C-alpha cells in the first residue's frame, strides 16, 4: 500500500469521526514532518519539533479543508510548506523554498531514494504483514518504539524484538543476495 493510499484512508476515517484512525494519521505524519523540517532547518534544530506540532495542529484544526475527491499527500504537503515559510517569515530568515511537489515531504533525503525504496520494499516483502508494518513505522516513518507499539496495540518490548528480528532477517537476505 502506498503512503498516499494508507494516509488517505486514515484521513477519511478520521473525517468520519474515527479518533483512532485520526491518531494513527497524526502519528504517521509527525514522522514525515520531523524528517521534512529537519532536512530544511538542519537536524536537531530547536524549531523542528515546534513546527511539527504546529503543523499537526493545523492538520487537525483545518482538516475540513481536505477535499476527499483529491489526493491527501499534496494537501498535507501544502500545509507543511506553509508552516515552514511562515516560520522563515517570522524568524526573518530570507530563504526561498521552491515549489516542489508533495514527494518532497514523503521522500527520504538522498537522491537515490527511488532505487533504495524499491530495494527496501523487496526486502520488506519477505516479512509478515505485522513485522513489515512495524519496520515501516519505526525505521521509515520515524515513529518511536512507543508510538509504534501504541499503534500496533503491542507492548514496547514486543515491538523492539520484532523490529530487531526483522532487521536481522533483512540483513541476512541482503548478504545472501550479494554473496
Partner 1 sequence: MKTDELIAALAADTPPIAPGALGRRLALALLVATAVATALVLVWLGMRPDVHFAMRKAAFWIKAGYTLALAACGFSLTLRMGRPGARPGPALAAAPAIFGALALLAVGELLASPASLRVDKLMGDSWRVCPLLIMAIAAPVFAAAIWALRGMAPTRLRLAGASAGLLAGGVGATVYGLHCQEMSAAFVVTWYSLGVAGCVAVGALIGPRLLRW
Binding stretches for partner 1 (CB under 8 A): 14-20, 22-23, 26-27, 30, 49, 52-53, 56-58, 60, 62-68, 70, 74-79, 81-82, 86, 102, 144, 146-147
- Tell the smallest beta-carbon distance from residue 149 to partner 1 (Å): 11
For residues 108 and 140, what is the distance between their CA atoms, to the nearest angstrom? Answer: 8
Q: How far is CA 21 from CA 17, 116, 130, 140, 153, in A?
A: 9, 29, 17, 19, 13
Contact criterion met (CB below 8 Å) for 40 and 91: no
| For partner 1, the closer CB: 14 or 136 | 14
- Tell the smallest beta-carbon distance from residue 85 to partner 1 (Å): 9
- Name which of 170, 172, 159, 162 is nearest 120 in CA terms: 170
| For partner 1, the closer CB: 46 or 179 | 46
- Please, which residues have CB within 8 angstroms of residue 162's CB and are 6 or more apart in sequence? 130, 131, 134, 154
Residue 146, all three cell numbers: 512507543
- Tell the smallest beta-carbon distance from residue 53 to partner 1 (Å): 5
| For partner 1, the closer CB: 48 or 135 | 48
Residue 174, all three cell numbers: 541482503
Say which DSSP state 70 is in.
Answer: S
- Tell the smallest beta-carbon distance from residue 35 to partner 1 (Å): 13
- Name which of 133, 148, 161 is nearest 27 in CA terms: 148
| For partner 1, the closer CB: 7 or 170 | 7
| For partner 1, the closer CB: 74 or 132 | 74
- Tell the smallest beta-carbon distance from residue 78 to partner 1 (Å): 3
Amino acid at each position: 500500500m502506498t503512503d498516499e493510499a494508507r494516509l488517505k484512508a486514515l484521513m477519511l476515517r478520521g473525517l468520519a469521526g474515527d479518533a483512532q484512525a485520526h491518531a494513527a494519521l497524526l502519528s504517521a505524519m509527525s514522522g514525515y514532518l520531523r524528517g521534512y523540517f529537519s532536512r530544511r532547518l538542519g537536524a536537531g534544530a530547536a524549531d523542528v519539533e515546534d513546527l511539527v506540532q504546529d503543523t499537526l495542529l493545523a492538520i487537525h484544526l483545518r482538516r475540513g479543508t481536505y477535499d476527499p475527491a483529491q489526493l491527501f499527500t499534496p494537501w498535507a504537503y501544502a500545509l507543511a510548506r506553509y508552516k515552514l515559510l511562515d516560520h522563515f517569515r517570522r524568524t526573518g530568515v530570507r530563504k526561498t523554498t521552491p515549489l516542489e511537489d508533495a514527494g518532497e515531504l514523503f521522500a527520504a533525503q538522498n537522491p537515490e531514494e527511488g532505487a533504495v525504496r524499491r530495494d527496501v520494499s523487496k526486502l520488506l516483502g519477505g516479512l509478515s504483514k505485522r513485522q513489515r508494518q512495524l519496520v515501516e513505522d519505526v525505521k521509515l516513518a520515524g515513529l518511536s518504539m512507543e508510538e509504534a507499539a501504541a499503534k500496533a496495540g503491542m507492548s514496547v518490548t514486543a515491538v523492539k524484538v520484532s523490529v530487531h528480528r526483522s532487521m536481522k532477517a533483512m540483513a541476512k537476505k541482503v548478504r545472501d543476495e550479494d554473496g
